Chain A
Amino acid sequence: MLKQRPFLIEILTAAGLIAAPFVLPHIGFAPTTINRILVWGLFGIGFDILFGFTGLLSFGQSAFYGTGGMVAAYLLIIVGFPHVVTALFIGMIVAAIIGYLVGLIALRRTGIYFAMITVAIAEVFYFVEFNPLSHYTGGENGLPGVPTPVFNLGFTTIRFDTDFSLYTFLAFWYFVGIVIALRIVRSPVGAVLSAIRDNPLRAAAVGHNIHSYKLTAFVVAAAYAGFAGGLLGVMQGFMPPDAFTFDTSGQLVMQTAIGGAGTLFGPLVGAAVWLFLSDFLQNAVGLGAAWKLVLGLVFVLLVVFLRHGIVGGLADLARRVTGRAAHHEAAESDPTAVSPAVVAAESTPIVQFSPSPRRPAPAGTGEAILQAEGVTKRYGGLVANDRIDFTVWRGELRGIIGPNGAGKTTFFRMLTCEVPPTEGRIVFEGRDITGFGVTRVCQLGLTKSYQVNQLFTRLTVRENVTIAALAEKRGPFRLDMFRNLSGVAGLDERVAQTLALVHLTERAELTVSELAYGEKRRLEIGLALATAPSLLLLDEPLAGMSPRERLETVQLLKSIARGRTMIVIDHDMDAIFELAERITVLHEGRVLTEGTPEEVKRNATVQEAYLGGVAAA
C-alpha cells in the first residue's frame, strides 16, 4: 500500500468513471442508481479510511452524513445561498467540526466500546434532527427543493439538472475524493493509521501519538460524510431526514464490508452490488419487501466466507495467480530451512558493521544516562519492585538478570513509562521522565524491544521499519497528509540502514506473517532500532530461539551495541555474561548485587538466589 506505480490507480479510476454511464445501463443499472452509487461510494471513502485503514468500526456515520447534508440544504433553501458548491463545502466543514467534537468523546475508548458509543451518538443526532431542530431541518419532512448546481461562465451557463449532467458533477467529486484519499493513504499519516489498525500498542511505543491520528481519521471520515450528504440533497433535490437513521450507518458498514474494507474502492463496489440487488430483487424478481431479507442473508454469508470483501477477494485472487512463483521462491529461501548456501553464508562473519542509527550524544560521555531512584511498584499487596536504585552510564551495555518473578519486566515497564511507579522517580538524560508515557519517552530516545513480539503483522517488513522510523523523523504527531512517504528526509536511508543491521534486507517485501520466528525477533529489535534510540532496552531478546538463532542474535546485539547504551534482560546466562559489561541482579523485587560478569559469577548471594544455597559452599 505504501509503494505503487505513480498515478496508475488515478488514471484507471478516471477511465472507469468516464466509461460507467455508457456501460452500466446495458447491464441493468438505472441512471439514478448509478448516481446514488457514487454518493455512497464517496461517503464510503472516508469511512474506509476510518474502518479499513485505521481499524475503527463506527456505526454512527449517519450523524455526519445528515449534518453535512442538512447544513448545505438549509443554506441553499432557507438562507437562499446561491452557490451550491460553496454550500457543500460549508456543510463538509461543519460535519468535520462536529466529527472532531464527537471524536473527542468516542475515541476515549476502543473496540466494541467505540462501536457502541458511535451508535448512541448517532441516535442523538437523529432525535435532535427530528425534534428540537425540526424548525430548521423540516423534521420528518426533510428539506425539499435543493437546487442543482449552475455555473455561469459569462458566455454560457452550465446546468447540472439531468441525470447524466448530474452524473458528471458527482463523478467529478468522487474522483477528487479518491485522489485525496489515495494521497492520504500513501502519506506518512496513512502509514501510521495502518500501524494503529495492526497494533496500536506498538504504534504508540515507537513514538506516535495515536490518539491524535485516530482523531484525524475520524475527522476525515466525517468530512467525507458531510460532503456526500450535501451531494445527496443536490442529487435528489430534497434532503431526506432518513440520512440520519441507524439504517444509513448500517447500510454504509455493510456496503463497505461487501465491497472490501481497506481498499478505498470497496464501498463503491459494495454500493453497486447493494443498490443493484435491491432494484433487481424488488422489480425483476418481484420479491417486494423481502429484498432486504435476501440481502441480509447474502451479507452474513459474505462476512462468514469472503473475509476481505469483493475487491479484497479479487486482489487475493490476482496475487495468487501472478504472485505464486515469487512467493514460493521467498518461502524457500527461509533461513530456518538449512540449505547448503545458507550454511556457507553462515560461516562468513554475520556482522557487517553497518552504521547503526543513533542520535548524537550530548557532549561529555561518562555521565549517567538513566537513573532510577527508589523506584517501587506495588500491585495491591504485592510488591513487584522495592526501592530500586539503578544507574546506567552512557555507552554501557548493562545486563539485568534474576530468577523468574524477580521483577525484571515490571522494572523495564516502568523505565519505558508503560506503567508509572508507585513511588520513586526515573531520570533520563538529566530529565525527570516519571509519568511521561511511552510515546513521549520514545521521542526522547528511550525505547525497548518486547519480550513477546509486538509487530505490525499485516504489513511488510519494510513498512514495519518505516513506521518506526517515521516517529523519530516526524515527531509524535504531524498532519502531512498530502506528502508522499519518499518526501520524508532521510527516511529511506534510515530504513535501509536498519534493515541491513538486522539482516532483513532480502526479506523486506514479505509480510510479517511470512517470516520465521527468529526473523520476527530480529524485526522486533529492528523496530526499536529504527527510532534511533540513545538508550535501548531489550526484554529477553533471545527468548524462544534455537541455538543457531541465539548465536546470530548475540552477534547482532554486539554489533548494535557499538556506540550505544543498552540494557538487556535475559535468562540465557552465557549470552548475558558474554555481552554485558556490568550486570545487575534483581531478586524478589530488589537489587541483589551489581558488578562485572566475573564479580557476579563469584558472588555467593547470587548463587544462593539461583541455586537455593546448594552451590554456596
Chain B
Amino acid sequence: MINWPNFVSQCFNGLVLGALLALISSGLTIIYGTLGVLNLAHGAMFMLGGYAGWLAYSYTGSFIVAVIAGSLFVMVVGVVMERVIIRYFYGRPHEDQLLVTFGLGIVFVEAVRFFFGSLSKAVPPPPGLVGITPIGFMFYPTYRLALLGIVAVALLALYIVLYRTRIGMIVRAGIEDSVMVDALGIDVYKVFMLVFGIGAMAAGFAGIVNAPVVSIAPDVGEAILVQTFVVVVIGGVGSFLGAVLGGLIAGEIISITSMFNPGYSYVMLFAAMTLVLVLRPYGLLGTAGRE
C-alpha cells in the first residue's frame, strides 16, 4: 500500500520542516526561558523575516543579501520591541505580556498587509540550488536538501553561541535565575535585549530561508506559531535541545500524517502533545518550575 519513495521523501520533508520548527522554537524558548515572556508575536517575526528578505531580494536579486537583510531586520525589530515595550512588562503578570505581544503580532501582520497586500510573494531559490537532485533511489528538490543543511548550520551556530561562548553562559545562567545573574554584577537588561534580538532573529532567518519553499503571505506566521507552541510543550520550556527534539518530532508527525490525510496532521500533533503532557508534564527535556 505504502509508496516507499513517497514515504521516504515525506520523511525528508518532515526533517526539513522539523529543523525549521526547531530553529523557530529555540528562539521562542530562549526568550521565554531568560525573560519570562512568551512572545505571541514570534510567528509575526517569522513572517517579517520573509518579507524583509523578499524586499531585499527584489532590489538586489541576491539571495544571500536577502537572507542577511531578513535576519538583521527582524533582529532590529526584536531589539526595538524589547526596548520600547516588552521591558515595561517584566514586572507585570504573564497575562498582560501575552496580551501585549499578541497585539503587537497583529500590528505587524496588518502593517505588512497594508503595505504589501494580502497576495503571497515568492522568492526563488538561489541559482545553483534550483531543480532536483537524485539521491539514490529518488529525486528530491535541491533547495530543500540545501535548506536542511542551512538550518542545521544555523542551529549549530545557535548552539555554539549558547553553549560555547561567554555571553551564552550568561544567557543560560539567566534562564536558571536571572535575578541572581543581575546580583552578580552583570547588566541583565542588556542581556535581555540581546536575547530578544537573537530569539527574534532565529524566527526571521527561518522566515526568509523557507521563502523559496513556501511563498510568503501576511498570515504565514500564525500556523507556524501554533506548531511552535506544540514543539515547546513537547520539548519543555527553556530547553534548547528540547526545542530541537520537539521540532523534529513535530515535523515528522505533520509530514507523515499529511501523506495519508493532511486534515489529521493537527490531530496527530495534538495527540502527541497530550501524550507528553500526561507522561512528562514538563516536556521531554524540560524541568519543573519554569512557568
Kindly list chain A residues whose C-beta atoms are within 8 Å of the C-beta of B265.
Answer: 127
| Contacting residues, chain A, for B96 (C-beta < 8 A) | 303, 307
Contact of B107 among A57, A112, A289, A297 (CB under 8 A): A297
Q: Cα distance A116–B265 when bound, in Å? A: 18
* In the complex, B267 has a CB within 8 A of chain A: yes
Q: Is the CB of A124 within 8 A of B233?
A: no
CB–CB B32/A300 < 8 A: no
A104 to chain B, nearest CB (A): 10
Inter-chain contact B226/A115, CB cutoff 8 Å: no
CB of B95 closer than 8 Å to a CB of A: yes
Given A257-B99, A307-B96, A111:B291 Cβ within 8 A: yes
Query: What distance in Å separates the Cβ of B159 from its nearest Cβ neighbour in chain A?
Result: 24
CA distance A130 to B261 in the complex (A): 12
Contacts of B274 in A (CB 8 A): 105
Write the A103-144 contact mask toward B (1 if CB under 8 angstroms, else 0): 001001111110111011101101110111000000000000
Query: Quick check: is A292 within 8 A (CB to CB) of the other chain?
Result: yes
Q: How large, as a class, is the contact surface on chain B?
A: 35 or more
Measured CB to CB, the nearest residue on chain A to B108 is A296
> Interface digits, B100-136 against A, CB 8 Å rule (1 contact, 0 not)?
1011101100110110001000000000000000000
Q: Does A290 contact B (CB under 8 A)?
A: yes
Residues of B near A303 (CB, < 8 A) are 96, 99-100, 103
Q: Indicate if A73 sits at the interface (CB-CB under 8 A).
A: no
B65 within 8 Å of A (CB atoms): no
Expressed in whole angstroms, the Cα–Cα distance for A12 and B226 within the complex equals: 41
A411 within 8 A of B: no
Closest Cβ of chain A: how far from B211's Cβ, in Å? 22
Asked if A304 lies at the interface with its beta carbon under 8 angstroms from chain B, I say yes
Q: Does A299 contact B (CB under 8 A)?
A: yes
Task: Choose one: B110, B261, B266; the contact of A123 (CB below 8 Å).
Answer: B266
Q: Are B233 and A55 in contact (CB under 8 A)?
A: no
Among A156-164, A218-226, A246-254, A421-429, the stretch in contact with B? A246-254
Total number of A residues with any Cβ neighbor in B under 8 Å: 41
With A123-B226, A124-B270, A289-B114 given, is the CB distance from A116 to B104 under 8 Å? no
Give the contacting residue for A117; candidates B38, B104, B118, B277; CB below 8 A.
B277
Q: Quick one: which of A51, A109, A116, A304 has the most chain B CB within 10 A?
A: A116
Bound-state CA distance A293–B224 (Å) is 21
Given A127-B267, A128-B267, A120 and B107 touching (CB < 8 A)?
A: no
Asked if B68 is at the interface of the complex by the 8 Å CB criterion, the answer is no
Closest to A131 in B: B263
Which residues of chain A are within 8 angstroms of B226 by Cβ–Cβ distance? 119-120, 123, 246
Q: Are A109 and B277 interface neighbours, CB within 8 A?
A: yes
Q: In whole angstroms, how far apart are the Cα atoms of A57 and B96 in the complex?
A: 10
Q: Do most interface residues of chain B lie in helix, strand or loop, or is the interface mixed?
A: helix
Q: Which residue of B lies closest to A122 (CB)?
A: B226
CB A367 to nearest CB in B, in angstroms, measures 39
Question: Which residues of chain B in 221-239 are interfacial with respect to chain A, using CB atoms and an 8 Å cutoff?
Answer: 222-223, 225-226, 229-230, 232-233, 237
Residue from the list B106, B225, B264, B281 in contact with A108, Cβ < 8 A: B281
List residues 244-291 of chain B with CB under 8 A from any CB of chain A.
261-267, 269-270, 273-274, 277-278, 281, 291
Which of B94, B99, B267, B278 interacts with A112 by CB under 8 Å? B94
Chain A residues with Cβ below 8 Å from B102 are 59, 250, 253-254
Chain B residues, Cβ within 8 Å of A119: 225-226, 229
| Docked complex Cα distance between A123 and B233 (Å) | 15
Specify the chain A residue showing the minimal Cβ separation from B233.
A116
Q: In angstroms, how far is the closest chain A Cβ from the Cβ of B225?
A: 8
Residues of chain A contacted by B230 (CB below 8 angstroms): 116, 120
Q: Are A296 and B233 in contact (CB under 8 A)?
A: no
- Distance in angstroms from A420 CB to nearest chain B CB is 14
Q: What B residues does A253 contact at CB under 8 A?
A: 99, 102
B138 sits at the interface (CB 8 A) = no
A105: shortest Cβ distance to chain B, in Å? 5
**Chain A residues with Cβ under 8 A from B103's Cβ?**
254, 296, 299-300, 303
C-alpha gap A120/B10 in the complex (Å): 23
For chain A, residues 3 to 61, give those with C-beta under 8 angstroms from any C-beta of chain B. 51, 55, 57, 59
- Knowing A109-B291, A290-B110, A300-B103, say if A124 contacts B98 (CB, 8 Å): no
User: At the interface, yes or no: B157 with Cβ under 8 Å from chain A?
Assistant: no
Are A120 and B106 in contact (CB-based, < 8 A)? no
Residues of B within 8 A of A111 (CB): 94, 291
Which 7 pairs from chain A and chain B are nearest by CB?
A131-B263, A293-B110, A116-B229, A296-B106, A300-B103, A296-B107, A112-B38
Known: A130-B263, A131-B262, A254-B99. 5 other contacts (CB 8 A): A57-B98, A120-B273, A253-B102, A254-B102, A293-B111
Which residues of B are interface residues toward A (Cβ below 8 A)? 32, 38, 85, 88, 92, 94-96, 98-100, 102-104, 106-107, 110-111, 113-114, 118, 222-223, 225-226, 229-230, 232-233, 237, 261-267, 269-270, 273-274, 277-278, 281, 291
Q: List 8 A-B contacts (CB under 8 A).
A: A57-B95, A119-B225, A119-B229, A131-B261, A250-B106, A253-B102, A293-B113, A300-B104
